[in-house]
Structure 1
Amino acid sequence: MASDSDDDMPLARTNGRVSNAHISKSVDKAMDEAASSSAHNAPAGISIRNGLVLDGNMDVDVPSTNGTVKRKSRGSTSKAVNYNVQGSESDEDAVPLAKRQKTKAKAQDSDSEDEKPLSSKKNGRLPPKNNTVALGEGSSDDQPLNKKLASKKASIERKAEKEAKVIRAKDKKSKAVKDESDDDVKANPRRKPNGTAIKVNGVKKVESDSDDAPLTKKATAKKANGKVKSEAGTPVKKGKKKEESEDAEEVYRWWDAPKKEDDSIKWETLEHNGVVFPPEYEPLPKNVKLLYDGKPVTLSVEAEEIAGFFGAMLHSTLNVENPTFQKNFFADFTEEVKKTGGAKDKDGNKVAIKEFSKLDFKPIFNYYDGKNQEKKARSVADKKADKAAKDELEAPYTQCTWDGRKEQVGNFRVEPPGLFRGRGEHPKTGKVKRRVLPEQITINIGDDARVPPPPEGHKWKAIQHDNKATWLAMWQENINGAYKYVMLAAKSSIKGQSDYKKFEKARELKKHIDRIRKDYTKDLKAKLMADRQRATAVYLIDKFALRAGNEKDAENEAETVGCCSLKFEHVTLKPPNTVIFDFLGKDSIRFYDEVLVDEQVFKNLKIFKKSPKKDGDDIFDRLNTSQLNKHLTNYMPGLSAKVFRTYNASWTMSNLLKELEDENFSIPEKVKLYNDCNRKVAILCNHKRTVGAGHEAQMEKMTDRIKGVQYQQWRYKQMILNIDPKQKKKMEKIHGAGYFEMNKDLTQEWVLEHQAFLVQDQRTKIEKKFAKDNEKLAANGEKEMKAKELEERLEVARDLEKKFKKENKSKNVEAEGRGASIEAIEGKMKKADDRITTMQLQAEDREGNKEVALGTSKINYIDPRLTVVFSKKFEVPIEKFFSKTLREKFTWAIESIEDEDEWEF
């Protein structure tokens, strides 16, 4: 769909060098000649992450740093923050995490890259390349993986094109039937206007064609406006305690309720109790002071609280050693010090705080760390009592009354003051998040409802009764000026309806996807620069799941970008048709990907990057997100760039699940089948993540668990020989020679380590049980057990240690338990076999998921009804796919699917 753009149209952005309004024939021809001289293009439309691109391979561009060299992805930093208390760990642990990672990366032996752990390859910066294992397929096929992937993706897209045409044809037919029916009604008033015949003289004359049903089918209502008790899809079990059944909340079946005439009206009545404020600041004891230049200083309560924010988080070296964090904190801290009377020494003389390096927060850190340790050391009973008291205090705020029914409130707590951290290298990291006062909060509530009282001595900023809004309270935070809202919880009907609309919009896109792809493919060769840039952007968003991207205020926000806001340095071109993206995406997480694109798209990007453009210049300089989304609404109302991610993920998953057949698999095998499909969605739709830093350690742990069961299985076999040595010949005849030998992976060194682990694990369990039993006795006012009792209990661990030593010496394993029989031991071996199979499937799953966040795609992009359909069709409990929280969130999906063969995405 070409636009009416011309030379006089306003530019999307005016910063930097701007492309010409039209693309001349000479430029097009020159690019065509350059493309034809290159090697044949590889299959387009897929990601081919293969690590860093070397300068020598760059025919068009040289990859630049983009300012992202120091950025860390979520995968490389999560769970890796150094919580070291100074002096308590090794020197290496005292080194800041960022520096430590670089040091270790350089220290790796460079002779064999393949022998390094995956998490350390390429300095942990880039994920490893795709392989056939990632797709759950064998490697025996000679067809190149890239071609196989591209072929699969093309096949799914061809199905989408056919489906779109079929749907539009059905809609056209339905409309014709409806128009004909309306004409009949005028001629025959006894006929119903919906096309369904009424009884004439007791005979039903006409039936409506089920094929004429619209795309969005209404589920048959079990109860109009009805309610269902307990968790979604799970009836309340008999025999449960009365209070547990009473706690089961009634679920509002909004998906069965009649549709409102005015969808913008969210509620008629609304009652709630406001928000929970964080506790007031407790000043430090007089003997705990901030040190400046080695001397204690006295601060105002306000300044002391801010100093406490920094002091309490000294363990978080990733933040407190960040120069930007330090600079922003010091600016806000010194401003507060000046505003509240300054700092004073022990004699009351003013102290000028001018250098951050002279501040010493250790006394403050030690104080707060001591309090934390005391809190952790409390008894289980005390912890439970504190939690119960907190829950009782917050109970009135956890629910609201929305149109007469109870709904769960989400974030009813006002965020406490502290230091802003932000994602990635946020320019405002370290600034002080001020305490939010009632005078900043606006309450949204029903006209006739009781307004919740503010804390004593305060008042609310405003009270409003906006029934078109779904928030209960709102305020503006001081860091970025963003508005914070108290909303309903994810499991609420309002959130559920929002999810439903999102996935229905993606289903609606099925009707139009062929026309959209046809139009943007045509406009890839448009003469107008604006049209060609828009078509190229839609191609990248559709094929590679790039986010549309919004322009940022670089001074106040993290410099994250998306497709429309890509700059010259974010895109590297490698002939014949490889494009390398490297930029900070959503939440300041590094987006790095190598993708194969169509020849025309590669050519267009060369034009968009054509000299005199350079670093800092926009690639899509005649396009912004608003223009792009406005164009997309020409195809269907409400269509925006982000709908493509949901559509592509759900449509791909739908196709992959249809190809599955139930071949009498076990439940774990069926779960793996589903996860394999989920993983393919991530690969084919380019939803990926960096390999986590702890992945290798997790895989080693899983391998050790499997080895542990294999070792126990070997012991069972030795027990059989202990009972009846004649079984050796008999069993080897059935199972083959070497049946009674230990698995080759179980070395003598490993066995000794494992035995030591089992003994220590036994000791630890006994000690924990002893401590827990004593806590219960103390809580009931009874006398605690003495240490002698613990020693007697530990005798079990000592006996186990002696048994292992005896087995290692004699090479004979005695049968365990009274009256041990070969049949009983074989039963245990069968259970061990099942455990090994299950754990191996889990290990394969985890290895396959190292680059894929299955949860993210399953929750946000794949229609949950697809998971429900799979669960019903393959008879796998929905609990295997959705946690309790997700089952509550997706109640509408679980309850609305009655016949898995009738519903499809």
Structure 2
Amino acid sequence: MASDSSDDDMPLAKSNGRVSEAHISKATDKKMDQAGSSKSNLPAGISIRNGPVIDDEMDVDAPTTNGHAKRKSRTSTSKAVKYHDDTDESDDEPLAKRQRTTQKPADSDSDDEPLATKKKPGKLPPKASETAIGDSSDDDDEPLTAKLAKTKASIEKKAEKEAKAIRAKESKAKKAAPKKAKKEDSDSEEEVKPKAKRKSNGTATKRANGVKKEESDSDAPLAKKATAKKANGKVKAEPAGTPTKKGKGKKEDSVEEEDEVYRWWDAPKKEDDSVKWDTLQHNGVVFPPEYEPLPKNVKLLYDGVPLTLSIEAEEIAGFFGAMLSSTLNVENLTFQKNFFEDFTAEVKKTGGARDPDGNKVAIKEFSKLDFKPIFAYYDGKVQERKARSSAEKKADKAAKDAIEAPYTTCIWDGRKEQVGNFRVEPPGLFRGRGAHPKTGKVKRRVTPEQITINIGKDATVPAAPEGHKWKAIQHDNKATWLAMWQENINGAYKYVMLAAKSSIKGQSDFKKFEKARELKKHIDRIRKDYTRDLRAELMADRQRATAVYLIDKFALRAGNEKDAENEAETVGCCSLKFEHVTLKPPNTVIFDFLGKDSIRFYDEVVVDEQVFKNLKIFKKAPKKEGDDIFDRLNTTQLNKHLTNYMPGLSAKVFRTYNASFTMSTLLKELQNTNISLQEKVKLYNDCNRKVAILCNHKRTVGASHEAAMEKMTDRIKGLQYQQWRIKQMILDIEPKQKKKKGANWFELDDDLDEAWILEHQAFLVKQEREKIEKKFAKENEKLVTEGQKEMKTKELTERLGVADDLEKKFKKENKTKKIEADGKGPTVEKLEANIKKLDERIATMRLQAEDREGNKEVALGTSKINYIDPRLTVVFAKKFNVPIEKFFSKTLRDKFTWAIESIEDEDDWEF
């Protein structure tokens, strides 16, 4: 493709700081070649560290339990799961730690010093050698990076072949089109029969988007026609993978029917794509409750003196006081500084602070403020709410849901659609993510006077709260938002949009993945062109080619210009600064910068020799810290260049394309062998994991991972202990079995030592007690709700006797070293059947543990939800006969209804 930059006097993309020369001289090229003459053993195009950096103090959410009971953590006294190599080799030590031990000479050139040496590095991601990608072969000595590079190269070669094949097929179809049109014209005179009289062969016509359109004159039986999906109609939503119930009981009859789903993927396309709706009716937004003043005895203290503040200032003090337990925020110096500035400004604005005698108090030092009384008050209210009975909680939720019900849906072109964020954010303190410069500032209360409503011309405008009015009413049918306002922290606009499960959001997702599918046709030409331009004489062309290489190979975000004063200084590829890139000969590049959401991104990647040389040129003196690396390129110019290949192509499409095409390629290689359901799920997860690694969508190991793995290990050991007890019961019934099966079969597993068994027995007794107490409390709540008397404590004591008996039983077994068979009519056959079931459970749990361990550096959900076409997951589920629920939660099934249903009749759909 012809270069976009042919003029020497082309304006610079960025004018701040030192800039590169317009042309790269042959002398410069030669000089850089000589400077980097050593060869690398590592293959290019691969990350040798995985994921973003997580600081030690960063809040890491604990994993959700997905509705299952959460097992309490207890210390395992047997050998722990080994995750890391204990050998002390300096070569394997994280780069940041090794560099910290070496002092740089005062006169050394620190231009290429990694950011990690200049500031506290936090927790670096693991090296690629520590990361598994599902290949468990131990006899292969080939380095992991080499395996990754081969896999990636193979996938890229397939992409090149496929792109050429698609274009050749389209070219052939284009040439054949005139002949086909001529034939159709000659046949048109013969087509005099009404369409209804033509006999249908029952086949479906494929549409351009991969959806099959059913013929209207189908010969299907009338009963089936009644339930057939209409081309542009509505059908009742059924959870995918759920078997149809033959009979309906009373419970099913009482269940309210689900809302009908609009099958937009079957509907004819609009002539004007920019018009989003013809009619729109909604009820506006829900405002947070008004502020309730603190009781008179609860005061903010300043240097030990209780203060009387205005309502406005008191509310702001309450924001800080209520979150006193969130040390990550309240102990952050930037958070404190920003809060203190906004708080003292509000105090001055509203008449100042006064002591008990009415004297004005000047608040000058943050350290003298004491929020403990405020925290104690709000914490007490939280505990009160937690202490409510489940009946009270349900009643409160029902009341809240009833109030919000009118706002949860809107009428969009005559059909009901779910609204997403219909609640206006309550006021509070801005937290931000990562190292945001505005963390701690006060988020002001949003009033109706700041809100613009977007609604149909003939619709009834929702009433503003009493005494207020809306900022504006507009009727923009090219916009998909229902309400909008500007927040005070960053001046950003907030929008009330439809929910993720709505047809509008679904269409947006569909278009995103279709655009990525379209990129398949052009990817070979793009890669060929940027590989050629890596040696371009014009600096702008070489910078653009290098940027596209980094975006394609390492999934870097393009990056936009930021206002450093008002926003966190987050960067992407085009906005990388001198200090964000460290060059480590012969061809390793270290990235260290604040990425999306102010999360620190640290990665070490191996690049092509020419790319390494180019980055050296882009960093060449007189450039220094603070200067742009890609000073003759910005995202607008980059995306404009990409549109020359296909309309609407931008840098972000590469992430979606690479993830989806890689997943598609990996899934095609799988064979539907006779394996268990859990093994099939693991097969899919292994592919998902490879996508995340090969496309650089990775994360650092979560703080809770080792604890979670220890719990799983304990659960497996618990099942092994249960098995051992059953085997001892077999000996109790029939001692001859020891000779028959061999003494080893009855031995205790090596993993289970005496100390662990005693701890496990105590855990089982405690678990039994908690189960009885919980059931007792629930039954009492039900009795109270029904107006009956509660059961007495005596009843609970009697029930707890079961746990006491279990404790006595364990003590007796430990003393006598004999386990008596229990249950109704125990036999050897029954007990052996139980052992077999436990074997299956242990095998399944070990697979799950292996899967979890493999996923520790990979956020599978991020790739699966945002970058991998959901239709690929549906195709896998169909091919391997796995319920879609194993991959998509109820929320995701609603979000991806279009993917699940649009290809339900297609066995040959491909990305």
Length-normalised TM-score, structure 2? 0.89
In the TM superposition, residue 861 of structure 1 has moved relative to its aligned partner by 0.4
2:322 aligned with 1:322: no
Mapped to 1, the partners of 2:782 and 2:198 lie a distance apart of 75
Residue 260 (structure 1) shift: 0.8
Contact 1:72 1:424 in 2 (8 A): no
The letter for the 2-side match of 1:807 is E
1:585-664 superposed matches below 5 A: 585-664=595-674
Does the residue aligned with 1:147 lie in a helix, a strand or coil? helix
SS, match of residue 579 in structure 1: strand
Quote the Cα distance in structure 1 between the aligned partners of 2:474 and 2:318.
37
Structure 2: distance between partners of 1:896 and 1:746 = 51
Q: Which amino acid aligns with 1:901?
A: D
Task: Please give the alpha-carbon distance, in whole angstroms, between the structure 2 residues aligned to 1:624 and 1:170.
Answer: 36
Displacement of 1:606: 1.0
- Structure 2 distance, partners of 1:358, 1:286, is 21
Task: For residue 899 of structure 1, report the CA deviation from its aligned partner.
Answer: 3.9
Q: Is the 8 A contact 2:588 2:604 kept in 1?
A: yes
Equivalent position amino acid for 1:44 in 2: A
1:858 to 855, 858, 864: 864
CA–CA separation in structure 1 for the residues paired with 2:838 and 2:91: 34
Aligned equivalent of 1:49: 49
Unaligned runs of 5+ in 1: 52-67, 82-108
What amino acid is aligned across from residue 169 of structure 2 in structure 1?
Answer: K
The equivalent of 1:482 in structure 2 is 492
Shift of 1:243: 6.7
**Gap change, CA 1:809 and 1:128, over 3 Å in 2:** farther
Q: 2:128, 2:144 within 8 Å by CA — same for their partners in 1?
A: no
Alignment of 1:258-657 (within 5 A): 258-657=268-667
Q: Is the 8 A contact 1:49 1:128 kept in 2?
A: yes
Distance 1:203 1:865, change over 3 A: closer
CA, structure 1 residues 209+77, in 2 after alignment: closer, same or farther (shift >3 Å)?
closer
Q: CA deviation at 1:185?
A: 5.1
Aligned counterparts of 1:73 and 1:871: Cα–Cα separation in 2 = 38
Look up the match of 2:80. Answer: none
Partner of 1:882: 888
Query: Secondary structure at 1:563's aligned position in 2?
Result: coil
* Distance apart, 1:111 and its partner CA: 6.5
Contact 1:491 1:889 in 2 (8 A): yes
Q: How far did 1:755 drift?
A: 0.7
Give 1:823's aligned residue.
829
Task: Assess if the C-alpha contact under 8 Å between 2:128 and 2:145 holds in 1.
Answer: no
Q: CA deviation at 1:628?
A: 0.5
Decide whether the 8 Å contact of 1:442 with 1:473 is kept in 2: yes
Asked whether the 8 Å contact 1:75–1:690 carries over to 2, the reply is no
CA contact (8 A) 1:184 1:191 kept: no
**1:757 equivalent among 763, 771, 782:** 763
Q: Aligned pair in 2 of structure 1 residues 598, 244: CA closer, same or farther (>3 Å)?
A: farther
Note the alpha carbon deviations across 1:752-796, whole angstroms, 9 max, x for none: 111111111111111111222222222222211222111111111
Does the 8 Å CA contact 1:6/1:528 hold for their aligned counterparts? no
Match of 1:666 in 2: 676
Helix, strand or coil at the partner of 2:345: helix
Residues 75 and 692, structure 1, Cα contact 8 Å, conserved in 2: no
Question: Given the superposition, is the C-alpha separation of residues 786 and 634 from structure 1 closer, same or farther in structure 2, using an over 3 Å criterion?
Answer: same
Would the aligned equivalents of 1:503 and 1:646 in 2 still touch at CA under 8 Å?
yes
Would the aligned equivalents of 1:232 and 1:894 in 2 still touch at CA under 8 Å?
no
Q: Is the 8 A contact 2:730 2:737 kept in 1?
A: yes
Displacement of 1:133 in angstroms is: 3.3
1:836-885 deviation line (CA, Å, top 9, x unaligned): 11111111111111110000100000000000000001000000000000
Q: Is the 8 A contact 1:73 1:690 kept in 2?
A: no
Q: 1:327 is paired with a residue of what secondary structure?
A: helix
Q: CA offsets, 1:365-394, max 9 Å, x none?
A: 111011111111011111110000000000
Decide whether the 8 Å contact of 1:41 with 1:577 is kept in 2.
no
Please give the secondary structure, in 2, of the residue aligned with 1:738.
helix
Query: Does 1:844 pair with 2:850?
Result: yes
**Residue 212 of structure 2: aligned partner:** 219
Under a length normalisation based on structure 1, what TM-score does the superposition of the two structures give?
0.90
Aligned to 1:6: 7
- Kindly indicate whether residue 759 of structure 2 is the aligned counterpart of residue 787 of structure 1: no
Percent identity between the two aligned chains: 76
User: CA-to-partner distance for each residue in 1:156-206, whole Å, 9 max, x for gaps?
Assistant: 1100001001101111112122223334456665389xxxx9999x999xx
Corresponding residue number in structure 2 for 1:141: 140
Contact 1:75 1:693 in 2 (8 A): no
- 1:228: which partner in 2? 235
| Cα distance change of structure 1 residues 646 and 344 upon mapping to structure 2, 3 Å threshold | same
Deviation, structure 1 residue 415: 0.4
Kindly indicate whether residue 168 of structure 2 is the aligned counterpart of residue 172 of structure 1.
no
Deviates more, 1:361-370 or 1:769-778: 769-778
Maintained 8 Å contact 2:5/2:540: no
The corresponding residue for 2:60 is: 78
For this pair of structures, how many residues does the alignment match? Answer: 844
CA distance in 1, matches of 2:549, 2:142: 26
Cα 1:730–1:697, aligned 2, differ >3 Å: closer, same or farther? same
Q: 1:42 to 1:111 in 2, by over 3 A?
A: closer
TM-superposition CA deviations, 1:89-124 (whole Å, max 9, x none): xxxxxxxxxxxxxxxxxxxx996899999xx99963
CA change 1:132–1:321 in 2 (3 A) is closer
1 CA distance for matches of 2:58 and 2:400? 35
Structure-2 separation of matches of 1:225 and 1:140: 57
CA deviations on 1:489-534 (whole Å, 9 max, x unpaired) are 0000000000000000000000000000000000000000100000
Partner of residue 98, structure 1: none
Query: 2:36 — aligned with what?
Result: 35
Q: 5 Å matches for 1:159-198? A: 159-184=158-183, 189-190=188-189
* Contact 1:571 1:579 survives alignment (8 Å): yes
Partner of 1:63: none
